[in-house]
Amino acid sequence: MTWLIDILGWVGSVLVVAAYGLNTYKKITADSLAFYGMNIVGGIFLVIYSLEKGAYANTFINVIWVLIAIPAILRYWRTAK
């Protein structure tokens, strides 16, 4: 099971950094479904990883990250109709 948690940590890290990098280099916009989705999924994976590892400061920041991204994606879905 440890390997699965480690994979979640790596995938979560890659998703969050990729979202930032893709936005910085104007490949995706900060108000796109891809950006929100990468941040939510990446953040959730990092919450799971950091909880399992007992890294509660990281858990805290990633919970905040996800809590910011959730209303943003909900707003995106409401306005996309």
Q: What is the pLDDT of residues 7-18, one digit of tens each?
A: 999 999 999 999
How would residue 1 be classed by pLDDT, with cut points 50, 70 and 90?
confident
Range of the domain at 38: 2-79
pLDDT digits (tens, 9 = 90+) for 40-61: 999 999 999 999 999 999 999 9
* 70 close to 40: Cβ distance less than 8 angstroms: yes
67 pLDDT above the threshold of 70: yes
How would residue 80 be classed by pLDDT, with cut points 50, 70 and 90?
confident
- Mean residue pLDDT across the chain: 96
Interior angle at CA 22, CA 34 and CA 60, nearest 5:
70
The span from the CA of 31 to the CA of 76, in Å, is: 7
Q: How many domains does the chain have?
A: 1
